[in-house]
Amino acid sequence: MTLIEPNVAALLWFALFAGVASTGFYVLTGVFPLETRPDLRSRPLGLALIAGNVLLLLALVGGGLAYGAANLRWTSLVIVGGLAVLFAPGVFNVWPPRWRDGMAGLAIVLASFGVSLGLLQHVGAVFSL
């Protein structure tokens, strides 16, 4: 494995971050366009969850790419990122519909983005030492 990617621990962390970001992306695509979701658009909490999720998704994707570029070979970055995007619909379809298509799904994704960003900050600081 060291001939393919010498930093296996960073590869596994990057795979986790890419998987969370890809799955969260599929959950967020279900809320757009907002005109088709009056259940979320009419609630201030729904709009706040959508805005928070979009911002955290952008931060996770940007931070994950920066982490991957700093610690992995570019081929590993492309392959693992592609696999995360490829298999995210399968993970998305395993979730019960009530968890992924409403406020509960947005709250779960917001929490997973927050935990992932915290882990990314911790792991990025550890690997940069």
Residue pLDDT, tens place only, 15-66: 999 999 999 999 998 888 888 887 777 788 888 988 999 999 999 999 999 9
Every domain of the chain and the residues it spans: 17-124
Please report, as a single letter, which amino acid is at residue 73. R
What is the spatial distance between Cα 49 and Cα 105, in angstroms, rounded to a whole number?
Answer: 10
As a whole number, the mean pLDDT across the chain is 89
pLDDT of residue 43: 81
Whether 6 has a pLDDT exceeding 70, the answer reads yes
